[in-house]
Amino acid sequence: MKIRQYQVDVFTHQVFRGNPAAVCPLDSWLSDKTLQAIAAENNLSETAFFVAIPAGYHLRWFTPVSEVDLCGHATLASAHVLFTILGYPGRVISFQTNSGVLTVEREGDRLIMNFPAMTPNSCDPPDLLIQGLGAAPIEVLAADDYLAVFADESDIRSLRPDFSTLSKLDKRGVCVTAPGLNCDFVSRFFAPKLGVPEDPVCGSAHCELTPYWSAKLRKNSLTARQVSRRGGELRCQMQGDRVNLSGQAVLFMEAVIHINHEELSS
């Protein structure tokens, strides 16, 4: 069996920046074991797989160690492949996912994703969170992830987390954030328990960051920058109980995966 695979750098307009995601269009679903093995072999934050259905596409995402219910950058990467390589003719793509129907709209050189908002709530900071970050935030909230708020962008850039300690927390991951010097807010995202010590640019974390900063700054449209080593930029907008997250993407690589029948059945 041969499977076409594309690697796309997301939330950037140039290769070697943003967040790389692998995208595999499929004619029909392979076993979960095979999908997970491909994602582990890629060893990227996410590998996305999609299959055409009457209402659009069924989309799933895998980290190197597990399937996840929501992923922003691999959704944008999948839309980029459909729009620019596979010739999708429409303006809006609908993806059926474990998080419901997600849409991606093409607008010029940007792609706009419509995702559910996940408003974080204040909580007491777990000891493991402070130990793992090596610094005490000024505020801690929780949704799918812990959201640790710091005073300055320099605080975010200087963090050197202990990933072993952070992996013991009960949430999916840890998002650290602060007001930005040249944007509304900056962030970094750590998910070591999912096999992703630091995600270069995490779209789904901005489903939590956007409602927090929208309320804090009293504005619906925000500019965001993830200040990982690779870095990436997003535009975020509140839409009721949804968020619009937009960014650019660029193709880095095309490849073919070769899998024989013995590997599929083993």
Residues 94 and 129 in one domain: no
**pLDDT tens figures, 150-161:** 999 999 999 999
Determine the pLDDT at residue 137.
98
| Residues in Cβ contact with 224 at an 8 Å cutoff, skipping those fewer than 6 apart | 180, 183, 184, 185, 186, 187, 206, 209, 210, 213, 233, 234, 235, 236
Residues 105 and 166 in one domain: no
Catalytic annotation present for 107: no
Determine the pLDDT at residue 243.
97
How is residue 244 written in tokens? 């619009």
**pLDDT tens figures, 175-220:** 999 999 999 999 999 999 999 999 999 999 999 999 999 999 999 9
Residues 9 and 57 in one domain: yes
Q: Which of 133, 181, 138, 177 is nearest to 159 (CA)?
A: 133
Range of the domain at 164: 121-240
Active-site option among 46, 153, 198, 208: 46
Residues 173 and 234 in one domain: yes
Determine the pLDDT at residue 260.
83
Residues 150 and 186 in one domain: yes
Residues 160 and 141 in one domain: yes
Determine the pLDDT at residue 261.
63
Q: List the chain pLDDT tens, one digit each, 266 residues.
A: 999 999 999 999 999 999 999 999 999 999 999 999 999 999 999 999 999 999 999 999 999 999 999 999 999 999 999 999 999 999 999 999 999 999 999 999 999 999 999 999 999 999 999 999 999 999 999 999 999 999 999 999 999 999 999 999 999 999 999 999 999 999 999 999 999 999 999 999 999 999 999 999 999 999 999 999 999 999 999 999 999 999 999 999 999 999 986 666 55
Residues 236 and 126 in one domain: yes
**DSSP-assigned beta bridge partners for residue 2:** 258
Query: In angstroms, what is the C-alpha Rg of the chain?
Result: 18
Q: For residue 97, what is the domain's CATH number? A: 3.10.310.10
Give the separation between CA 17 and CA 230, rounded to whole angstroms.
5
Determine the pLDDT at residue 44.
95
Q: What total number of domains does the chain contain? A: 2
